[in-house]
């Protein structure tokens, strides 16, 4: 993802962390790879500021799978520099969350 000007939080080009938190959430969902996965909880560490124009990549891996629960570790990088890390607790449901 490239941090666009629409993501900036101030005149200096700092971007709002919610955008790359959303990227991390999406990466966690992709790592679980189930159509009925939902996010239950998350912890996040914003390690470095992200500026408009920065190119970000996410890496996500399932570190624990027990029953319906999946714990996913996510890291976001700007090049080789880590800017975000988080742990996402996800749940795989039997059917779509809106069909419960």
Question: CATH code at 49?
Answer: 3.10.129.10
CA 25 to chain centre: 3
Containing domain of residue 40, as a range? 5-99
Tens-digit pLDDT profile for residues 8-50? 999 999 999 999 999 999 999 999 999 999 999 999 999 999 9
In this prediction the pTM is 0.93
Domain count, the chain: 1
What is the arithmetic mean of pLDDT over 60-80?
98
């Amino acid at each position: 993802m490239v941090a666009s000007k629409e993501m900036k939080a101030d005149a200096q080009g700092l971007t709002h962390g919610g955008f790359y938190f959303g990227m991390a959430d999406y990466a966690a969902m992709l790592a679980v790879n189930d159509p009925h996965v939902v996010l239950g909880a998350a912890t996040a560490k914003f390690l470095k500021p992200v500026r408009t124009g920065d190119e970000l990549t996410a890496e996500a891996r399932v570190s624990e799978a027990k029953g319906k629960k999946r714990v996913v570790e996510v890291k976001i990088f700007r090049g080789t520099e880590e800017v975000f890390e988080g742990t996402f607790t996800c749940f795989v449901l039997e059917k779509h969350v809106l069909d419960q």
